[in-house]
Amino acid sequence: MSVSEVVREFADRLSDELSGVEGRTSDGSGGGSLAGLLANASPAGIDDGEVLAVLVEGVRLLNVANVLLAQTVQSAVRVGVPMRKRLKTGADLLLGLGVPPAVAYRLARVGKAFESVEALAGLAGQALVGGVAIEHADAVGEGLTFVGKRVELDPEAEVQVARRLIVQERPGDVRARAREIAIELAPTAAEVDPEVVPVAENAELNEMSVVVGADGRTSVELDVDVVLGEELWQALDPLCRPVLAPDGSRDPRNVGQRRADAFGQIVRMYLAGSDRPTNGGVLPHVSLLVPVVAESGSGSSGSATGVAQRGSVGSGRVASLGFTGPVSDRTVGLVLCDSALRRIGVDGQGAVLDVGREHRTVTVPIRKALEARDRGCAAPGCGRPVGWTDAHHIVPWSQGGETSVENSVLLCRMHHTMVHHGGWEVFLGTDHHPWFVVPANPARPGGQRRIVRSHARRTLTLAEDAAA
C-alpha cells in the first residue's frame, strides 16, 4: 500500500468515526462512536477523563497532520512539482486546496526549515510524533534566523540556541527569548571583532513588513535600529497626547489607538508636502476608485446636470482604494470629504470663499478663512493646530455639497472620523460658527440630542450677536 493510500484510509476511518457513520444506532444517534459520546454528553454522566483524553489525542493528530503537510510541501518543492503545475512556491499548492494564506506560508516555511537547518532536526523528530505545534516550530525557526542575522553562529552554537528556544512554552516566549539571546551573544562577538556593530545600532538589520489582510486592514511590523527608533518616538510623542472628546469627556482612545492616529497624522503631513517623490509622475495620496452609474434621465455622468451615484454592493460597483481594496460608503465619504461646478463666491476684497462645485478640495483663500474662524480643530475640547486638520464638508460633496466657508469646518483626523463613523453631526449656526450634535443615546433612541459649541466658540447661545 502506497503512502497516499495509507493516509487516505486513515483519514476515511477517522472521518467515519468522528461523524458516527459506522456507529449509528436505529434511533439515529451516534451510538458508541466519538460523535455519540460528544453529542449525548451530560454534566452528570460524562467522563471528564475521556473528554480530556480526546482533546490530548486530537491536538497530537493536529500537530502530526501539520508536520505531514509541511514536509510534503517541501518535498514537492524539491522535486519540482510547483514548477510543473506552473506555480511559484510550495505554498501555492496549499492555497489551491483552500488553505488560508497565513497557514499555507507557515507550513511551507517550517517544511523548508526542517530540511535545511540542521539544528532543527531534533525538533522535527518531536513534531513528527505530535509533540510540537507547527506554530511553535515556526517560531523556533524564525528565532534562529533572528539570532543568526545578528550574531554569526557555527553549527554547534546554532544547536545550542535551538535547544534554548525549543524549551519555551509559547511561540511568543520563543520570540522574546530569541531577542534576549541575540543581545546576550552580541558583546561576545564584539570582543572578537571590534568592528562588529552592536545589534541595536545596526541599520542593516532594519525590516518592515506591510500586509493587507483578508478583511482589508493593513498590519505593519517594524524592527529598526535605536537611532531611527528614537526619531520615530520623537515624531509620535507630541501627537499621542490624550484629547478630550467633543462632549468634554475623556479621550475614548487607548494608547495603541492614539499611537496609530499619530502615525496616520505623520503620513498625512508627509503626503501633503510638495517635495516628496512622485508615483507614476504624480504626487501619491489616497487613490479612490468609485464606479459610478448615471441616474435614469439625468444624462451622462460627465454632463453638467448629470448626477452620478454609487452602485449598490450587490451590483459589483463597490468603491476600492488603490492598495488596500474595497471600502464601505462611510469610508468613501471620509476620503471624499477633503473635498471638486460652477458658482464662485468672493469676499469684499475679491478672495474666493465659495467655489460651488468647481473644486472638490478647498482653495487657499477658503482654507485661510476657515483657519481664522475655527482656529484649529473645531471639535469641542480639541483645538489641534490648523496644520493637523482636514476641511470637512458639512453637506457631503458626494451629496451635492459645495466647497465654501459656509459648508466647511476644520477637523483633525480623529474627530473627522468620529463625524463620519461615530454618529456625530455638524451644522453651521446663525452665528456662522460650527455646532456639533451629540450622537443619539442607544438606550433612549427617541431622546433629544444635545448641541455642543465648537472649540473656538466661547458662548453657549446660537444668537448671532454672541459670536466669539
The model's pLDDT over 35-52, given as tens digits with 9 standing for 90+, comes to: 566 666 566 656 677 778
- On whether both 170 and 75 belong to a single domain, the answer is yes
pLDDT of 253-275, one tens digit each? 888 898 998 898 888 887 776 56
Give the Cβ contact number of residue 138 at 10 Å.
Answer: 20
Give the list of residues 6+ apart from residue 82 with CB closer than 8 angstroms, or none: 76, 88, 89, 90, 92, 93
Domain contains 77: yes
Q: Where a domain ends, among 198, 222, 248? A: 198
Residues 345, 407: one domain? yes
* Predicted pLDDT of residue 32: 55
Q: Is residue 41 included in any domain, yes or no? A: no
154, part of any domain:
yes
- Helix, strand, or coil (residue 223): strand
Answer yes or no: do 293 and 429 share one domain: no
pLDDT of residue 386: 81
**Residues 413 and 452 occupy one common structural domain:** yes
260 lies in some domain:
no
Q: Which of 172, 198, 224 is the last residue of a domain?
A: 198
Regarding whether 52 and 194 lie in a shared domain, the answer is yes
**Among 198, 233, 267, which residue terminates a domain?**
198
325-326 and 320-321 beta bridge pairing: antiparallel
Q: Are residues 295 and 353 in the same domain?
A: no
- The pLDDT of residue 223: 86
Same domain for 317 and 387, yes or no, is no
Residues paired with 345 in a beta bridge: 354
User: Does residue 5 lie within any of the structural domains?
Assistant: no
* Residue matched to cell numbers 539570532: 147
Helix H or strand E segment including 257: helix 255-271
32 within a domain of the structure (yes/no): no
With respect to residue 434, please indicate whether it lies within any of the assigned structural domains.
yes
DSSP β-bridge partners for residue 279:
282
- Are residues 343 and 313 located together in one domain of the fold? no
Q: Clarify whether residues 193 and 56 are in a common domain.
A: yes
Give the dihedral sign, CA 386/392/394/397.
positive
pLDDT of residue 229: 81
Cell numbers for 163: 535547544
Furthest-apart CA pair in the chain: how many Å? 94
Q: Which helix (H) or strand (E) holds 103?
A: helix 101-116
Clarify whether residues 303 and 359 are in a common domain: no
The pLDDT, as a whole number, for residue 166 is 84
Q: Which of 383, 408, 353 is nearest to 458 (CA)?
A: 383
Residues 67 and 134 sit within 8 Å (Cβ to Cβ) = yes
Does residue 70 share a domain with residue 126? yes
Stretches where the chain sits below pLDDT 50 are: 23-30, 279-284, 292-316, 339-352, 464-468
Angle at alpha carbon of residue 375, lines to 372 and 380, rounded to 5°: 135
Q: Is the dihedral of CA 456, 459, 464, 466 positive or negative?
A: negative
365 vs 153: CA distance, rounded Å: 63
Range of the domain at 306: 288-321
Residue 381 lies in a domain: yes
Rounded to 10°, the helix 48-78/134-150 angle is: 50
Q: At what angle do helices 101-116 and 134-150 cross, to 10 degrees?
A: 60
Domain count, the chain: 3
| Claim to verify: residue 311 and residue 382 sit in the same structural domain | no
